[in-house]
Structure 1
Amino acid sequence: MKYLLLFPALLAGLSACTTTRPATGVQQHLYIQPDGRSQQSWKLIWEDNFNGSTLDTSKWTRIPRNNADWGKHMTSDDRCYDLKDGKLYLRGINTPDTAKDPRPFLTGGIYSKGKFAFQYGKIEIRAKLECAQGAWPAIWMLAENNKYGAYPRNGEIDIMEHLNYDSIIYQTTHSYYTLDLKQTTKPPHSGTAALRNGEFNVFGISWYPDKIVFLLNGKETFTYPRVEGADPSQWPYDQPFYLLIDQQLGGNWVGKVNPEDLPVQMIVDWVKVYQ
Protein backbone atom coordinates (compact mmCIF):
# COMPACT_ATOMS: atom_id res chain seq x y z
CA MET A 1 0.00 0.00 0.00
CA LYS A 2 2.57 2.55 1.08
CA TYR A 3 5.66 3.68 -0.84
CA LEU A 4 8.16 5.63 1.22
CA LEU A 5 11.92 5.85 1.35
CA LEU A 6 13.17 5.29 4.86
CA PHE A 7 16.20 6.84 6.53
CA PRO A 8 19.55 5.34 7.57
CA ALA A 9 20.92 4.53 11.02
CA LEU A 10 20.70 1.28 12.91
CA LEU A 11 20.82 0.16 16.50
CA ALA A 12 23.95 -1.83 17.23
CA GLY A 13 22.42 -4.70 19.22
CA LEU A 14 19.86 -5.95 21.66
CA SER A 15 20.03 -5.75 25.42
CA ALA A 16 19.99 -8.99 27.38
CA CYS A 17 18.54 -7.27 30.45
CA THR A 18 15.24 -8.30 31.99
CA THR A 19 13.72 -4.82 31.94
CA THR A 20 12.85 -2.71 28.95
CA ARG A 21 14.95 0.39 28.36
CA PRO A 22 15.46 2.79 25.46
CA ALA A 23 18.62 2.79 23.42
CA THR A 24 21.39 5.11 24.52
CA GLY A 25 22.91 8.19 22.92
CA VAL A 26 21.24 9.69 19.89
CA GLN A 27 18.76 6.79 19.65
CA GLN A 28 17.05 7.14 23.02
CA HIS A 29 13.67 6.97 21.30
CA LEU A 30 14.20 3.31 20.29
CA TYR A 31 12.64 0.79 22.69
CA ILE A 32 14.02 -2.71 22.26
CA GLN A 33 12.33 -5.61 24.02
CA PRO A 34 15.03 -7.61 25.83
CA ASP A 35 15.48 -11.32 25.23
CA GLY A 36 13.04 -13.43 27.22
CA ARG A 37 10.74 -10.51 28.03
CA SER A 38 7.95 -11.97 25.86
CA GLN A 39 7.46 -14.71 28.44
CA GLN A 40 6.53 -12.16 31.12
CA SER A 41 3.46 -9.99 31.67
CA TRP A 42 3.07 -6.91 29.48
CA LYS A 43 4.41 -3.67 30.95
CA LEU A 44 3.29 -0.25 29.71
CA ILE A 45 6.31 1.60 28.29
CA TRP A 46 4.82 4.48 26.26
CA GLU A 47 1.43 6.12 25.85
CA ASP A 48 -0.48 9.20 24.82
CA ASN A 49 -4.00 9.95 26.07
CA PHE A 50 -4.28 13.25 24.15
CA ASN A 51 -5.33 15.15 27.26
CA GLY A 52 -3.52 18.37 26.33
CA SER A 53 -4.79 21.26 24.28
CA THR A 54 -2.06 20.80 21.66
CA LEU A 55 -0.31 17.83 20.10
CA ASP A 56 2.64 16.56 22.15
CA THR A 57 5.50 17.26 19.75
CA SER A 58 7.93 15.26 21.85
CA LYS A 59 5.99 12.21 20.65
CA TRP A 60 4.43 13.16 17.32
CA THR A 61 4.95 15.09 14.10
CA ARG A 62 2.24 16.08 11.64
CA ILE A 63 2.78 14.00 8.51
CA PRO A 64 3.95 16.17 5.60
CA ARG A 65 2.67 15.92 2.07
CA ASN A 66 4.37 13.22 0.01
CA ASN A 67 3.99 11.66 -3.42
CA ALA A 68 2.66 8.30 -2.26
CA ASP A 69 -0.90 7.40 -3.19
CA TRP A 70 -1.98 7.81 0.43
CA GLY A 71 0.00 10.97 1.16
CA LYS A 72 -0.76 13.43 -1.63
CA HIS A 73 -3.37 15.29 0.46
CA MET A 74 -1.46 15.32 3.76
CA THR A 75 -1.10 18.74 5.37
CA SER A 76 -0.12 20.50 8.58
CA ASP A 77 -3.16 22.80 8.23
CA ASP A 78 -4.79 23.29 11.64
CA ARG A 79 -8.22 22.67 10.15
CA CYS A 80 -7.30 18.98 9.83
CA TYR A 81 -6.33 18.65 13.49
CA ASP A 82 -8.05 19.18 16.82
CA LEU A 83 -7.61 18.10 20.43
CA LYS A 84 -10.53 18.34 22.80
CA ASP A 85 -12.12 16.29 25.58
CA GLY A 86 -9.09 14.02 25.71
CA LYS A 87 -9.28 13.00 22.06
CA LEU A 88 -7.36 13.72 18.87
CA TYR A 89 -9.37 14.53 15.74
CA LEU A 90 -7.74 13.89 12.36
CA ARG A 91 -9.84 15.22 9.52
CA GLY A 92 -10.22 14.91 5.79
CA ILE A 93 -11.74 18.07 4.32
CA ASN A 94 -12.45 19.86 1.09
CA THR A 95 -9.70 22.41 0.46
CA PRO A 96 -11.05 25.77 1.70
CA ASP A 97 -9.05 27.86 -0.77
CA THR A 98 -7.76 26.13 -3.91
CA ALA A 99 -6.09 29.36 -5.00
CA LYS A 100 -3.65 28.90 -2.12
CA ASP A 101 -3.53 25.10 -2.36
CA PRO A 102 -4.69 23.56 -5.66
CA ARG A 103 -5.28 20.13 -4.15
CA PRO A 104 -9.00 19.33 -3.87
CA PHE A 105 -8.68 17.75 -0.42
CA LEU A 106 -6.58 18.07 2.74
CA THR A 107 -5.95 15.34 5.29
CA GLY A 108 -4.44 15.15 8.75
CA GLY A 109 -2.09 12.54 10.15
CA ILE A 110 0.64 12.07 12.74
CA TYR A 111 3.67 9.85 13.09
CA SER A 112 6.22 9.06 15.79
CA LYS A 113 9.17 8.89 13.40
CA GLY A 114 12.40 10.01 15.08
CA LYS A 115 10.60 10.32 18.43
CA PHE A 116 9.39 6.82 19.34
CA ALA A 117 9.95 3.41 17.78
CA PHE A 118 9.87 -0.06 19.29
CA GLN A 119 10.91 -3.60 18.46
CA TYR A 120 8.54 -6.34 19.68
CA GLY A 121 5.74 -5.82 22.16
CA LYS A 122 2.07 -4.95 22.08
CA ILE A 123 0.44 -1.78 20.77
CA GLU A 124 -3.22 -0.78 21.07
CA ILE A 125 -4.99 2.30 19.69
CA ARG A 126 -8.57 3.18 20.65
CA ALA A 127 -10.24 5.09 17.85
CA LYS A 128 -13.53 5.73 16.08
CA LEU A 129 -13.67 5.78 12.29
CA GLU A 130 -16.15 7.95 10.46
CA CYS A 131 -17.27 6.86 6.98
CA ALA A 132 -17.24 8.65 3.64
CA GLN A 133 -16.83 7.70 0.01
CA GLY A 134 -13.08 7.83 -0.55
CA ALA A 135 -12.17 7.78 3.15
CA TRP A 136 -9.14 5.65 3.95
CA PRO A 137 -8.17 5.95 7.63
CA ALA A 138 -5.11 3.91 8.55
CA ILE A 139 -3.04 2.96 11.58
CA TRP A 140 0.25 1.45 10.49
CA MET A 141 3.97 1.06 11.11
CA LEU A 142 7.21 1.49 9.18
CA ALA A 143 10.82 0.68 10.06
CA GLU A 144 12.66 3.50 11.80
CA ASN A 145 15.99 2.52 10.25
CA ASN A 146 17.19 1.48 6.82
CA LYS A 147 18.38 -1.99 7.79
CA TYR A 148 17.66 -3.87 4.57
CA GLY A 149 17.48 -1.16 1.91
CA ALA A 150 14.82 0.92 0.21
CA TYR A 151 11.10 0.27 0.60
CA PRO A 152 9.65 -2.34 0.68
CA ARG A 153 12.67 -4.26 1.98
CA ASN A 154 12.20 -3.06 5.57
CA GLY A 155 8.57 -4.08 5.63
CA GLU A 156 5.32 -2.45 6.65
CA ILE A 157 2.72 -3.44 9.25
CA ASP A 158 -0.82 -2.23 8.61
CA ILE A 159 -2.57 -2.52 11.96
CA MET A 160 -5.79 -1.20 10.48
CA GLU A 161 -7.06 0.16 7.17
CA HIS A 162 -10.70 1.03 6.53
CA LEU A 163 -12.33 1.86 3.20
CA ASN A 164 -15.40 3.96 2.48
CA TYR A 165 -18.46 2.60 4.36
CA ASP A 166 -17.12 -0.92 4.91
CA SER A 167 -18.00 -2.88 8.03
CA ILE A 168 -14.59 -4.56 8.02
CA ILE A 169 -10.99 -3.51 8.41
CA TYR A 170 -7.93 -4.85 6.62
CA GLN A 171 -4.87 -6.03 8.57
CA THR A 172 -1.80 -6.60 6.43
CA THR A 173 1.95 -7.01 6.19
CA HIS A 174 3.89 -5.76 3.16
CA SER A 175 7.52 -6.47 2.27
CA TYR A 176 9.81 -7.24 -0.64
CA TYR A 177 8.70 -10.85 -0.12
CA THR A 178 5.00 -10.05 -0.63
CA LEU A 179 5.22 -7.17 -3.13
CA ASP A 180 8.18 -8.07 -5.35
CA LEU A 181 8.41 -11.84 -4.95
CA LYS A 182 4.58 -12.04 -4.90
CA GLN A 183 4.56 -14.44 -1.95
CA THR A 184 1.19 -13.39 -0.56
CA THR A 185 -0.18 -16.84 0.32
CA LYS A 186 2.88 -18.63 1.74
CA PRO A 187 2.00 -17.57 4.36
CA PRO A 188 -1.11 -15.38 3.87
CA HIS A 189 -0.07 -11.79 4.47
CA SER A 190 -3.48 -10.19 5.04
CA GLY A 191 -6.75 -10.70 6.86
CA THR A 192 -9.99 -8.87 7.57
CA ALA A 193 -12.03 -8.38 10.72
CA ALA A 194 -15.52 -7.02 11.41
CA LEU A 195 -15.60 -3.82 13.45
CA ARG A 196 -18.30 -1.91 15.29
CA ASN A 197 -19.04 0.83 12.80
CA GLY A 198 -19.71 4.24 14.33
CA GLU A 199 -18.24 3.20 17.68
CA PHE A 200 -14.83 3.24 19.30
CA ASN A 201 -12.78 0.13 18.59
CA VAL A 202 -9.37 -0.93 19.87
CA PHE A 203 -6.92 -1.80 17.08
CA GLY A 204 -3.60 -3.46 17.77
CA ILE A 205 -0.93 -6.08 17.34
CA SER A 206 1.14 -8.33 19.57
CA TRP A 207 4.57 -8.55 17.93
CA TYR A 208 7.05 -11.31 18.68
CA PRO A 209 10.37 -12.42 17.14
CA ASP A 210 8.53 -15.21 15.29
CA LYS A 211 5.06 -13.79 14.55
CA ILE A 212 2.79 -10.74 14.40
CA VAL A 213 -0.65 -11.29 15.92
CA PHE A 214 -3.27 -8.76 14.81
CA LEU A 215 -5.94 -7.72 17.29
CA LEU A 216 -9.35 -6.07 17.26
CA ASN A 217 -11.07 -5.22 20.53
CA GLY A 218 -8.74 -7.55 22.38
CA LYS A 219 -9.39 -10.58 20.17
CA GLU A 220 -6.83 -12.21 17.88
CA THR A 221 -7.95 -11.86 14.27
CA PHE A 222 -4.98 -12.75 12.05
CA THR A 223 -1.41 -13.98 12.51
CA TYR A 224 1.55 -13.51 10.20
CA PRO A 225 4.30 -16.01 11.13
CA ARG A 226 8.01 -16.04 10.47
CA VAL A 227 8.64 -18.98 8.13
CA GLU A 228 11.76 -21.06 8.55
CA GLY A 229 13.56 -21.67 5.26
CA ALA A 230 11.77 -18.88 3.40
CA ASP A 231 13.61 -16.14 1.52
CA PRO A 232 15.16 -13.82 4.15
CA SER A 233 13.02 -10.93 2.88
CA GLN A 234 9.97 -12.68 4.36
CA TRP A 235 10.82 -11.39 7.83
CA PRO A 236 12.17 -7.81 7.97
CA TYR A 237 10.29 -7.40 11.27
CA ASP A 238 13.36 -7.69 13.48
CA GLN A 239 14.02 -3.97 13.94
CA PRO A 240 12.31 -0.93 15.53
CA PHE A 241 9.18 0.42 13.85
CA TYR A 242 7.45 3.78 14.32
CA LEU A 243 3.70 4.47 14.25
CA LEU A 244 1.57 6.40 11.75
CA ILE A 245 -2.07 7.38 12.31
CA ASP A 246 -3.74 9.20 9.43
CA GLN A 247 -7.10 10.07 7.92
CA GLN A 248 -6.33 9.48 4.25
CA LEU A 249 -8.53 10.34 1.28
CA GLY A 250 -8.63 8.89 -2.20
CA GLY A 251 -6.25 6.62 -4.05
CA ASN A 252 -6.29 3.65 -6.40
CA TRP A 253 -7.47 1.22 -3.74
CA VAL A 254 -10.22 3.23 -2.03
CA GLY A 255 -11.45 5.00 -5.18
CA LYS A 256 -12.70 8.51 -5.81
CA VAL A 257 -13.70 10.89 -3.04
CA ASN A 258 -17.23 12.26 -2.80
CA PRO A 259 -16.79 15.90 -1.71
CA GLU A 260 -20.34 15.95 -0.37
CA ASP A 261 -19.39 13.33 2.25
CA LEU A 262 -16.73 15.60 3.77
CA PRO A 263 -15.54 16.45 6.31
CA VAL A 264 -14.73 13.02 7.68
CA GLN A 265 -12.55 12.23 10.67
CA MET A 266 -10.80 9.59 12.71
CA ILE A 267 -11.13 10.24 16.43
CA VAL A 268 -8.27 8.82 18.52
CA ASP A 269 -8.79 8.30 22.24
CA TRP A 270 -5.44 6.84 23.25
CA VAL A 271 -2.31 4.96 22.17
CA LYS A 272 -0.59 2.46 24.50
CA VAL A 273 2.56 0.39 23.91
CA TYR A 274 3.66 -2.52 26.10
CA GLN A 275 6.70 -4.76 26.24
Structure 2
Amino acid sequence: MIRSFAKPAAFLAFLGAFAACKTPAYQLVDGYMYEQRPGRENENWKLVWKDDFKGKTIDTAKWTRIPPGKSDWNRHMTQDDKCYELKDGLLYLKGIVNPDPSADERPFLTGGIWTKGKFAFQYGKIEIRAKLESAQGAWPAMWMLAEKDKYGKYPKNGEIDIMEHLNYDSIIYQTIHSWYTLELKQADNPKHGGTAVFNKDEFNVFGLKWYPDKIVYILNGKETFTYPRVQGVDASQWPFDQAFYILIDQQLGGNWVGKVKPETLPVNMIVDWVKVYQ
Protein backbone atom coordinates (compact mmCIF):
# COMPACT_ATOMS: atom_id res chain seq x y z
CA MET A 1 0.00 0.00 0.00
CA ILE A 2 1.38 3.44 -0.97
CA ARG A 3 1.06 5.97 1.79
CA SER A 4 0.40 9.64 1.12
CA PHE A 5 2.16 12.22 3.29
CA ALA A 6 1.19 15.87 3.55
CA LYS A 7 4.12 18.11 2.61
CA PRO A 8 4.96 20.84 5.13
CA ALA A 9 4.18 24.38 4.00
CA ALA A 10 7.83 25.39 4.37
CA PHE A 11 8.89 22.64 1.98
CA LEU A 12 6.31 23.72 -0.60
CA ALA A 13 7.51 27.30 -0.31
CA PHE A 14 11.07 26.11 -0.91
CA LEU A 15 10.01 24.23 -4.03
CA GLY A 16 8.24 27.31 -5.33
CA ALA A 17 11.27 29.50 -4.75
CA PHE A 18 13.56 26.91 -6.37
CA ALA A 19 11.33 26.72 -9.44
CA ALA A 20 11.26 30.51 -9.68
CA CYS A 21 15.06 30.63 -9.60
CA LYS A 22 15.18 28.14 -12.46
CA THR A 23 12.70 30.07 -14.63
CA PRO A 24 14.51 32.46 -16.99
CA ALA A 25 13.64 36.13 -16.73
CA TYR A 26 13.09 36.15 -20.48
CA GLN A 27 11.86 34.10 -23.39
CA LEU A 28 14.25 33.85 -26.31
CA VAL A 29 12.85 34.69 -29.76
CA ASP A 30 14.73 33.74 -32.95
CA GLY A 31 17.70 32.81 -30.81
CA TYR A 32 18.81 36.36 -29.93
CA MET A 33 15.87 38.56 -28.87
CA TYR A 34 15.30 38.54 -25.11
CA GLU A 35 11.65 39.29 -24.37
CA GLN A 36 11.00 39.76 -20.67
CA ARG A 37 8.46 37.32 -19.29
CA PRO A 38 5.07 38.90 -18.46
CA GLY A 39 4.64 39.93 -14.83
CA ARG A 40 8.35 40.30 -14.10
CA GLU A 41 8.39 44.10 -14.20
CA ASN A 42 8.01 44.36 -10.41
CA GLU A 43 10.48 41.60 -9.54
CA ASN A 44 14.21 41.84 -8.88
CA TRP A 45 16.40 42.34 -11.94
CA LYS A 46 18.46 39.40 -13.20
CA LEU A 47 21.55 39.90 -15.34
CA VAL A 48 20.81 38.34 -18.76
CA TRP A 49 23.53 39.74 -21.05
CA LYS A 50 26.82 41.62 -20.67
CA ASP A 51 30.15 42.50 -22.20
CA ASP A 52 33.11 43.74 -20.15
CA PHE A 53 35.53 44.01 -23.12
CA LYS A 54 38.18 41.84 -21.50
CA GLY A 55 39.22 40.16 -24.73
CA LYS A 56 41.83 41.18 -27.27
CA THR A 57 39.24 41.91 -29.95
CA ILE A 58 35.62 43.06 -30.07
CA ASP A 59 33.32 40.07 -29.56
CA THR A 60 31.73 39.64 -32.98
CA ALA A 61 29.11 37.27 -31.55
CA LYS A 62 27.73 40.32 -29.75
CA TRP A 63 28.74 43.38 -31.77
CA THR A 64 29.20 44.64 -35.31
CA ARG A 65 31.19 47.74 -36.22
CA ILE A 66 28.72 50.30 -37.55
CA PRO A 67 29.08 50.97 -41.31
CA PRO A 68 28.95 54.48 -42.78
CA GLY A 69 25.66 56.07 -43.80
CA LYS A 70 24.19 59.33 -45.01
CA SER A 71 22.75 60.74 -41.76
CA ASP A 72 24.48 63.24 -39.49
CA TRP A 73 25.17 60.56 -36.91
CA ASN A 74 26.76 57.94 -39.17
CA ARG A 75 28.28 59.81 -42.10
CA HIS A 76 31.80 59.52 -40.61
CA MET A 77 31.42 55.96 -39.30
CA THR A 78 34.09 53.48 -40.33
CA GLN A 79 34.88 49.85 -39.66
CA ASP A 80 38.60 50.61 -39.91
CA ASP A 81 40.81 49.56 -36.98
CA LYS A 82 42.02 53.17 -36.66
CA CYS A 83 38.83 54.02 -34.77
CA TYR A 84 38.77 51.01 -32.43
CA GLU A 85 41.07 49.94 -29.62
CA LEU A 86 40.76 47.41 -26.80
CA LYS A 87 43.18 48.05 -23.94
CA ASP A 88 43.18 47.09 -20.25
CA GLY A 89 39.56 45.91 -20.39
CA LEU A 90 38.35 49.13 -22.01
CA LEU A 91 36.95 49.75 -25.48
CA TYR A 92 38.03 53.01 -27.14
CA LEU A 93 35.67 54.30 -29.83
CA LYS A 94 37.56 57.09 -31.57
CA GLY A 95 36.80 60.22 -33.52
CA ILE A 96 39.82 61.24 -35.59
CA VAL A 97 40.99 63.38 -38.47
CA ASN A 98 41.11 61.15 -41.53
CA PRO A 99 44.82 60.39 -42.05
CA ASP A 100 44.39 59.38 -45.71
CA PRO A 101 41.76 61.41 -47.60
CA SER A 102 43.07 60.03 -50.89
CA ALA A 103 41.61 56.62 -49.97
CA ASP A 104 38.50 58.03 -48.25
CA GLU A 105 37.52 61.61 -48.99
CA ARG A 106 35.71 62.15 -45.70
CA PRO A 107 37.54 64.62 -43.41
CA PHE A 108 36.84 62.65 -40.22
CA LEU A 109 36.42 59.03 -39.18
CA THR A 110 34.51 57.67 -36.19
CA GLY A 111 33.98 54.32 -34.49
CA GLY A 112 30.79 52.73 -33.25
CA ILE A 113 29.29 49.33 -32.47
CA TRP A 114 25.78 47.88 -32.50
CA THR A 115 24.09 44.60 -31.56
CA LYS A 116 21.75 44.58 -34.55
CA GLY A 117 20.90 41.01 -35.56
CA LYS A 118 22.88 39.60 -32.62
CA PHE A 119 21.18 40.82 -29.44
CA ALA A 120 17.99 42.75 -28.76
CA PHE A 121 15.72 42.96 -25.74
CA GLN A 122 12.19 43.98 -24.82
CA TYR A 123 11.80 45.54 -21.34
CA GLY A 124 14.45 45.44 -18.65
CA LYS A 125 17.33 47.57 -17.42
CA ILE A 126 20.44 48.55 -19.35
CA GLU A 127 23.54 50.17 -17.86
CA ILE A 128 26.71 51.27 -19.66
CA ARG A 129 29.80 52.42 -17.77
CA ALA A 130 31.86 54.81 -19.84
CA LYS A 131 33.95 57.95 -19.91
CA LEU A 132 33.20 60.66 -22.47
CA GLU A 133 36.05 62.77 -23.74
CA SER A 134 35.25 66.22 -25.09
CA ALA A 135 36.07 68.02 -28.33
CA GLN A 136 34.44 70.69 -30.46
CA GLY A 137 31.99 68.79 -32.62
CA ALA A 138 32.09 65.59 -30.54
CA TRP A 139 28.75 63.83 -30.18
CA PRO A 140 29.05 60.48 -28.35
CA ALA A 141 25.79 58.56 -28.08
CA MET A 142 24.29 55.44 -26.52
CA TRP A 143 20.88 54.55 -27.90
CA MET A 144 18.48 51.87 -29.09
CA LEU A 145 16.44 51.16 -32.21
CA ALA A 146 13.76 48.57 -33.01
CA GLU A 147 15.07 45.25 -34.26
CA LYS A 148 12.09 44.22 -36.43
CA ASP A 149 10.27 47.43 -37.48
CA LYS A 150 6.92 46.26 -36.12
CA TYR A 151 5.10 49.47 -37.09
CA GLY A 152 6.89 50.39 -40.31
CA LYS A 153 9.92 52.48 -41.16
CA TYR A 154 11.63 55.04 -38.95
CA PRO A 155 10.41 56.89 -36.93
CA LYS A 156 7.29 54.73 -36.51
CA ASN A 157 9.10 52.24 -34.23
CA GLY A 158 10.65 54.91 -32.06
CA GLU A 159 14.15 55.64 -30.83
CA ILE A 160 15.39 55.47 -27.24
CA ASP A 161 18.39 57.71 -26.62
CA ILE A 162 20.07 56.53 -23.43
CA MET A 163 22.66 59.31 -23.55
CA GLU A 164 23.93 61.99 -25.92
CA HIS A 165 26.68 64.48 -25.13
CA LEU A 166 27.68 67.60 -27.06
CA ASN A 167 31.07 69.28 -27.25
CA TYR A 168 32.30 70.27 -23.76
CA ASP A 169 28.91 70.26 -21.99
CA SER A 170 28.57 69.18 -18.37
CA ILE A 171 25.13 67.73 -19.10
CA ILE A 172 23.83 64.77 -21.08
CA TYR A 173 20.59 64.52 -23.03
CA GLN A 174 18.13 61.67 -22.42
CA THR A 175 15.45 61.58 -25.10
CA ILE A 176 12.60 59.64 -26.70
CA HIS A 177 11.82 60.01 -30.41
CA SER A 178 8.92 58.54 -32.39
CA TRP A 179 6.37 59.33 -35.08
CA TYR A 180 4.35 60.88 -32.27
CA THR A 181 7.12 63.31 -31.21
CA LEU A 182 8.67 64.00 -34.62
CA GLU A 183 5.80 63.94 -37.12
CA LEU A 184 2.84 64.75 -34.90
CA LYS A 185 4.98 67.29 -32.98
CA GLN A 186 3.82 65.99 -29.59
CA ALA A 187 7.02 66.72 -27.69
CA ASP A 188 5.33 67.80 -24.43
CA ASN A 189 2.36 65.45 -24.09
CA PRO A 190 4.17 63.87 -22.34
CA LYS A 191 7.56 65.62 -22.23
CA HIS A 192 9.86 63.50 -24.37
CA GLY A 193 13.29 64.31 -22.96
CA GLY A 194 15.42 65.78 -20.22
CA THR A 195 18.99 66.58 -19.24
CA ALA A 196 21.16 65.46 -16.36
CA VAL A 197 24.38 66.90 -14.93
CA PHE A 198 27.34 64.50 -14.89
CA ASN A 199 31.06 64.56 -14.12
CA LYS A 200 32.54 64.59 -17.60
CA ASP A 201 36.07 63.94 -16.32
CA GLU A 202 35.13 60.61 -14.73
CA PHE A 203 33.55 57.28 -15.65
CA ASN A 204 29.77 57.36 -15.26
CA VAL A 205 27.06 54.71 -15.51
CA PHE A 206 24.40 55.67 -18.04
CA GLY A 207 21.19 53.71 -18.38
CA LEU A 208 17.46 53.27 -18.15
CA LYS A 209 14.76 50.99 -16.83
CA TRP A 210 12.20 50.00 -19.45
CA TYR A 211 8.73 48.85 -18.38
CA PRO A 212 5.54 48.09 -20.37
CA ASP A 213 4.14 51.48 -19.28
CA LYS A 214 7.16 53.77 -18.85
CA ILE A 215 10.86 54.33 -19.52
CA VAL A 216 12.85 55.60 -16.53
CA TYR A 217 16.26 57.11 -17.23
CA ILE A 218 19.05 56.66 -14.71
CA LEU A 219 22.51 58.16 -14.22
CA ASN A 220 24.90 56.55 -11.73
CA GLY A 221 21.96 54.64 -10.27
CA LYS A 222 19.74 57.69 -9.71
CA GLU A 223 16.50 58.27 -11.62
CA THR A 224 16.62 61.43 -13.73
CA PHE A 225 13.69 61.45 -16.18
CA THR A 226 10.60 59.35 -16.89
CA TYR A 227 8.72 58.96 -20.16
CA PRO A 228 5.29 57.39 -19.47
CA ARG A 229 2.87 55.61 -21.74
CA VAL A 230 -0.27 57.74 -21.77
CA GLN A 231 -3.89 56.97 -22.58
CA GLY A 232 -6.20 58.84 -24.95
CA VAL A 233 -3.55 59.92 -27.47
CA ASP A 234 -2.42 58.63 -30.85
CA ALA A 235 -1.19 55.04 -30.68
CA SER A 236 2.18 56.08 -32.15
CA GLN A 237 3.05 57.54 -28.74
CA TRP A 238 4.14 54.09 -27.54
CA PRO A 239 5.88 51.88 -30.12
CA PHE A 240 8.09 50.57 -27.28
CA ASP A 241 6.48 47.14 -27.01
CA GLN A 242 9.04 45.30 -29.12
CA ALA A 243 12.70 44.27 -28.96
CA PHE A 244 15.35 46.96 -29.46
CA TYR A 245 19.06 46.61 -30.22
CA ILE A 246 21.92 48.69 -28.75
CA LEU A 247 24.12 51.28 -30.45
CA ILE A 248 27.21 52.89 -28.87
CA ASP A 249 29.08 55.35 -31.09
CA GLN A 250 31.46 58.27 -31.09
CA GLN A 251 29.92 60.70 -33.56
CA LEU A 252 31.36 63.92 -35.01
CA GLY A 253 29.64 66.97 -36.43
CA GLY A 254 26.13 67.64 -37.64
CA ASN A 255 23.37 70.22 -37.42
CA TRP A 256 22.83 69.73 -33.69
CA VAL A 257 26.38 69.54 -32.35
CA GLY A 258 27.89 71.99 -34.84
CA LYS A 259 31.13 72.04 -36.82
CA VAL A 260 34.15 69.98 -35.84
CA LYS A 261 37.43 71.69 -34.94
CA PRO A 262 40.11 69.28 -36.18
CA GLU A 263 42.69 70.65 -33.76
CA THR A 264 40.61 69.33 -30.82
CA LEU A 265 40.80 65.73 -32.09
CA PRO A 266 41.28 62.84 -31.49
CA VAL A 267 38.45 62.21 -29.06
CA ASN A 268 37.34 58.95 -27.43
CA MET A 269 34.33 57.38 -25.84
CA ILE A 270 35.88 54.85 -23.46
CA VAL A 271 33.52 51.98 -22.61
CA ASP A 272 34.14 49.78 -19.56
CA TRP A 273 31.11 47.48 -19.69
CA VAL A 274 27.52 47.00 -20.84
CA LYS A 275 24.96 45.09 -18.79
CA VAL A 276 21.32 44.20 -19.47
CA TYR A 277 18.93 42.93 -16.79
CA GLN A 278 15.38 41.61 -16.93
Q: TM-score, normalised by structure 1?
A: 0.92
Structure having the higher Rg: 2
Of 120, 123, 127, the match for 1:120: 123
Report the residue type matching 2:151 in the other structure: Y
Per-residue CA distance 1:35-77 (angstroms, 9 max, x = gap): 1111211000000000000000000000000111110000011
Task: Say yes or no: does 1:64 pair with 2:63.
Answer: no
Name the structure 1 match of 2:181.
178
Mapping of residues 113-152 of structure 1, within 5 Å: 113-152=116-155
Name the structure 2 match of 1:251.
254
Report the residue type matching 2:86 in the other structure: L
CA–CA separation in structure 2 for the residues paired with 1:40 and 1:132: 41
Name the structure 2 match of 1:12.
none
Name the structure 1 match of 2:195.
192
Shift of 1:20: 2.4
Shift of 1:19: 2.7
Report the residue type matching 1:23 in the other structure: L
Mapping of residues 15-26 of structure 1, within 5 Å: 19-24=24-29
Name the structure 2 match of 1:262.
265
Of 75, 79, 84, the match for 2:82: 79
Of 225, 229, 233, the match for 2:228: 225
Q: Secondary structure at the match of 1:37?
A: coil
Given that residues 22 and 29 in structure 1 are in contact (C-alpha distance below 8 angstroms), is that contact kept between their aligned partners in structure 2? no
Structure 1 residues not aligned, in runs of 5+: 1-16
Given that residues 27 and 36 in structure 2 are in contact (C-alpha distance below 8 angstroms), is that contact kept between their aligned partners in structure 1? no
CA–CA separation in structure 2 for the residues paired with 1:127 and 1:97: 29
Residues matched between the structures, number: 257
Mapping of residues 228-243 of structure 1, within 5 Å: 228-243=231-246
CA–CA separation in structure 1 for the residues paired with 2:250 and 2:139: 6
Shift of 1:22: 4.3
Runs of 4+ in 1 over 6 A off after TM superposition: none
Shift of 1:230: 1.2
CA–CA separation in structure 1 for the residues paired with 2:214 and 2:47: 20
Name the structure 2 match of 1:4.
none
Given that residues 137 and 260 in structure 2 are in contact (C-alpha distance below 8 angstroms), is that contact kept between their aligned partners in structure 1? yes
Q: Secondary structure at the match of 2:151?
A: coil
CA–CA separation in structure 2 for the residues paired with 1:22 and 1:89: 33
Q: Mark the CA change 1:244 to 1:19 in structure 2 (over 3 Å): closer, same or farther.
A: same
Q: Mark the CA change 1:88 to 1:22 in structure 2 (over 3 Å): closer, same or farther.
A: farther
CA–CA separation in structure 2 for the residues paired with 1:266 and 1:121: 24
Structure 2 residues not aligned, in runs of 5+: 1-21
Shift of 1:125: 0.1
Given that residues 18 and 37 in structure 1 are in contact (C-alpha distance below 8 angstroms), is that contact kept between their aligned partners in structure 2? no
Percent sequence identity over matched residues? 70
RMSD: 1.0
Given that residues 18 and 34 in structure 1 are in contact (C-alpha distance below 8 angstroms), is that contact kept between their aligned partners in structure 2? no
Given that residues 18 and 36 in structure 1 are in contact (C-alpha distance below 8 angstroms), is that contact kept between their aligned partners in structure 2? no
Given that residues 201 and 216 in structure 1 are in contact (C-alpha distance below 8 angstroms), is that contact kept between their aligned partners in structure 2? yes
Shift of 1:268: 0.1
CA–CA separation in structure 1 for the residues paired with 2:263 and 2:72: 21
Name the structure 2 match of 1:8.
none
CA–CA separation in structure 1 for the residues paired with 2:37 and 2:71: 35
Q: TM-score, normalised by structure 2?
A: 0.91
